[in-house]
Amino acid sequence: MTVEEKKLDVASEAAVQPTSSNSEGESEPQNRQLSRALKGRHMQMIAIGGSIGAGLFVGTGGALRTGGPAALLIGFIIIGCMMMCTVQALGELAIIYPVNGAFYEYAVRFIDPAWGFAMGWEYCIGWMVTLPFEITSAGITIEFWKSRDEVNPGVWCAVFMSILIIIQVFGVRGYGEVEFILAIVKIIACIGFIILGIIINAGGVPTDPRGYIGAQYWHDPGAFRNGFQGFCSVFVTAAFSFGGTEMVGLAAAEATNPRKTLPKATRQVFWRITLFYILNIFILGLIVPSDSDVLLGASGANTKASPFVLAVQLAGIQILPHIINGVITCAVISVANSCTYGSTRVLQALAQSGRAPAIFAKIDKSGRPIYCVALQVAFGFISFITVAADSKTVFNWLLAVTGLSGQFAYVSIMIAHIRFRKAWRVQGRSLEEIPWRSALGVVGSYVGVFLVCCSLAATFYSSLFPVGGKPSAESFFQGYLAAPITISLFLFWKVYTKDWGFGVDLHSVDLDMGRRPEEELDDVYEGTEKKTSMWKRGLSVIC
């Protein structure tokens, strides 16, 4: 019997043994579940505004400077299409299997246990080391008003860490409520900027000496900058900016009724991509010159170099830069909140399946993975490194670990979806039995896998040949370090389990484990299979 088979046996035994005795002879629940407290409104806001953060509000400035407005727009459209394919596939899987760990579990079940182990750990580590960076970034946004000379940055780290710990006290409900409120703030800001940007471009701001702008910046300094290198570098920013989109799938296990809330939440991602990313980026390219020296510092949460702040400053509007900076602060807090959620839920799922220390599988009476949360909070204290002189170097290498974790998760979701559909077919089941099907189907997953490969290739090229610099091992590994780490984790699990094959037997995959039969008596919110005409199927993707 292999290690994997033993783990399956242990998992089966745990499922039928509800209690165990502790050292004092008291009975403790073995099968305590995560709290299912996320309501429909939480799921909608997590889907629409959950991942809008510093990547959009600040990171796009550096990408605009490097690639130009056309490259920035094209890059975000391509990555946006990739995310649409990913979310549609994830929605189908999460509705039929609303399990802890979501895509990690799908990778283990439908792709390969070793790949699920590697991808799950890389994803978990990625969010863990991102948290201290986000806390530090939140402090940097405050420097827009108070410089480091006035207030030690460690003070802001302590403030934001305290806020984060308070949120954790309320469990998943706290996460949902905070995301609900902050998502509304970000959505209002994005819509407001689109309207303001159109007015600025049309010359409707009296304090703007430029008057009517039109497409002037697409001609001078130009639509593209730095050729193919500049275009490839945009993919890195775009992939980072969309990070966290997959949270809606993770949240399925803690939704009160995923069959009712997930279909709509899945489709609303279209509006996030189109309205809040693509339109904002198009407007930015029209009203902000890509050769502005201010954009040179557009990284992390340096809001003084934010293209959104620069846009209103160039228009001579006095108060709005402060408001936008406040929005960016909220966005960074939102991402930090997502860090604690994403890492802890995947780590708990890893431990529950025997692929992480068993202590992290424990769920307290409030439905929180308490030890996972404690570990994530401990990582947050790394943010105090910001007071050190060489903190930037430390954070650059920490972020290098996370660089590709999201893309590995996305490609895993779509490959798992493809193999799920194949397993469903070879076991003689009808597509009509699937509660909710991706409007893009398996074809969408194949297209998404291709786009992820293109993104990984572009990241590889831009890491090897950075814009404005010479090829170096340091720049390459800061962009691609996650790849060898993930491969090493994959090989480690193969050696540990002595399972040298690759892939799972789709004829014997359990297609019923993880389903909620009691909920399947209810109808899904709506099914795309009932829409037969082409225009209705197209509309079902977005509404």
Residue 29 has pLDDT above 60, yes or no: no
- pLDDT of residue 23 exceeding 50, the answer is no
CATH number at residue 77: 1.20.1740.10
**High-pLDDT (> 90) share of the chain, %:** 43
Q: What are phi and psi of 439, to 5 degrees?
A: -65, -20
For residue 440, is it within any domain? Answer: yes
* Domain contains 541: no
pLDDT value at 329 more than 70: yes
**Residue 45 domain-assigned (yes or no):** yes
Place 533 in a pLDDT band, splitting at 50, 70 and 90: low
CB 56 within 8 A of CB 306: no
- pLDDT on residue 421: 96
Mutual angle of helices 405-426 and 113-142, in 10-degree steps: 140
Highest-confidence segment of 362-366, 486-490, 507-511, 520-524: 486-490
Q: What is the mean pLDDT of residues 178-205?
A: 93
- Tens of pLDDT, residues 385-442: 888 767 777 777 877 777 788 899 999 999 999 999 999 999 999 998 898 999 999 9
Read off the pLDDT of residues 269-314 as tens digits, 9 standing for 90 and up.
887 788 888 999 999 999 999 998 888 765 555 667 788 999 999 9
Residue 21 phi, psi dihedral angles, 5° rounding: -100, 140
Residue 354 has what pLDDT? 92
Tell me whether residue 529 is in a domain: no
* Mean of all residue pLDDT scores within the chain: 84
Number of domains in the chain: 1
Give pLDDT tens digits for 194-227: 999 999 999 999 999 999 999 999 999 999 999 8
Q: Look at residue 513 in the predicted model and tell me its pLDDT.
A: 87
In a domain, residue 412? The reply is yes
Range of the domain at 189: 3-7+35-501
Residue 414 belongs to a domain: yes
Over the stretch 353-379, which tens digit does the pLDDT of each residue have? Answer: 999 999 999 998 888 899 999 999 999
- How high is the pLDDT of residue 31? 61
20 pLDDT tier (thresholds 50, 70, 90): very low
266: in domain: yes
User: Given CA atoms 324, 325, 330, 336 in this order, what sign does their dihedral have?
Assistant: positive
Residue 512 falls inside a structural domain? no
Predicted confidence at residue 191, as pLDDT, reads: 92
Q: Give how far Cα 156 sits from Cα of 144, 150, 242, Å.
A: 13, 12, 26
Per-residue pLDDT of 469-506, as tens digits, reads 788 888 888 888 889 999 999 999 999 999 888 888 99
Contact 527, 435 (CB under 8 A): yes
Residue 27: helix, strand or coil by DSSP?
A: strand
